[in-house]
Chain A
Amino acid sequence: MSTTTHAIQPLRRVEGIVAPLDRADVDTDQIIPKQFLKRVERAGYGQFLFNDWRFRPDGSPRADFVLNQPGYAGAAILAAGRNFGCGSSREHAAWSIADYGFRVVIAPSFADIFQANCYQNGILPLALPEDEVARVLGRAAAHPGYALTVDLEACTVADAAGWRLGFEIDDFRRRCLLEGLDDIGLTLQYESEITRFETR
Chain B
Amino acid sequence: MNARPTTLFEKVWEQHVVRREEGRPDLIYIDLHLVHEVTSPQAFAGLNTAGRAVRRPERTLATVDHNVPTTHRSLPVADPVATRQIEALRENAAEHGITLYDMGHERQGIVHVIGPELGATQPGMTIVCGDSHTSTHGAFGAIAFGIGTSQVEHVLATQCLLMERPRSMEVRYRGRLGPGLTAKDLILHTIGRIGVAGGAGHVLEYRGEAIRALSMEGRMTVCNMSIEAGARAGMIAPDQTTFEYLRGRPRAPAGEAFDEAVARWSTLGTDPGARFDRVVEVDLAGLEPQVTWGTNPGMVVPVSGRVPDPADLADPDNRATAERALSYMGLEPGTPMQDIELDRVFIGSCTNSRIEDLREAARVARGGKVSTRVHALVVPGSTAVKAAAEAEGLDRVFRDAGFEWRESGCSMCLGMNDDIAGPGERCASTSNRNFEGRQGRGARTHLVSPAMAAAAAVTGRFTDVRSQA
Interface size grouping (class) on chain A: 35 or more
- CA A184 – CA B27 in complex, angstroms? 11
Instruction: Indicate if B117 sits at the interface (CB-CB under 8 A).
Output: no
Instruction: Indicate if A57 sits at the interface (CB-CB under 8 A).
Output: yes
Contact B157 A188 (CB under 8 A): yes
How far is the CB of A29 from the nearest CB of chain B, in Å?
Answer: 4
Which of B159, B230, B317 touches A112 (beta carbons < 8 Å)? B230
How far is the CB of B229 from the nearest CB of chain A, in Å?
Answer: 10
Contact B433 A89 (CB under 8 A): no
Task: Give per-residue flags for B221-244: 1 if the beta carbon is below 8 A from chain A beta carbons, else 0.
Answer: 000000100101000000000000
Instruction: Indicate if A194 sits at the interface (CB-CB under 8 A).
Output: yes
- CA A24 – CA B435 in complex, angstroms? 13
Contact A40 B436 (CB under 8 A): no
- A-side contacts of B320, CB under 8 Å: 22-24
**Quick one: which of A52-72 are within 8 Å of B by CB?**
52, 57
Instruction: Indicate if B49 sits at the interface (CB-CB under 8 A).
Output: yes
Instruction: Indicate if A183 sits at the interface (CB-CB under 8 A).
Output: yes
Instruction: Indicate if A155 sits at the interface (CB-CB under 8 A).
Output: no
Say yes or no: A194-B160 contact (C-beta < 8 A), given A23-B321, A24-B317, A57-B423: yes
Instruction: Indicate if B296 sits at the interface (CB-CB under 8 A).
Output: yes
**Quick one: which of B360-381 are within 8 Å of A by CB?**
none
- CA A173 – CA B54 in complex, angstroms? 26
Contact A111 B441 (CB under 8 A): no
Contact A88 B85 (CB under 8 A): no
Say yes or no: A187-B160 contact (C-beta < 8 A), given A6-B46, A89-B130, A89-B131: yes
- A-side contacts of B49, CB under 8 Å: 4-5
- A-side contacts of B79, CB under 8 Å: 38
Contact A29 B433 (CB under 8 A): yes
Which of B18, B25, B132, B318 touches A197 (beta carbons < 8 Å)? B18
Instruction: Indicate if B388 sits at the interface (CB-CB under 8 A).
Output: no
How far is the CB of A55 from the nearest CB of chain B, in Å?
Answer: 10
- B-side contacts of A158, CB under 8 Å: none
Instruction: Indicate if A96 sits at the interface (CB-CB under 8 A).
Output: no
- CA A14 – CA B323 in complex, angstroms? 35
What are 26 A-B interface contacts by the 8 Å CB criterion?
A4-B153, A6-B150, A25-B197, A27-B435, A30-B436, A34-B416, A37-B38, A38-B84, A39-B85, A40-B45, A42-B42, A42-B46, A52-B437, A81-B317, A83-B196, A88-B131, A91-B39, A91-B148, A91-B150, A111-B230, A171-B23, A172-B24, A183-B150, A186-B162, A190-B18, A194-B55
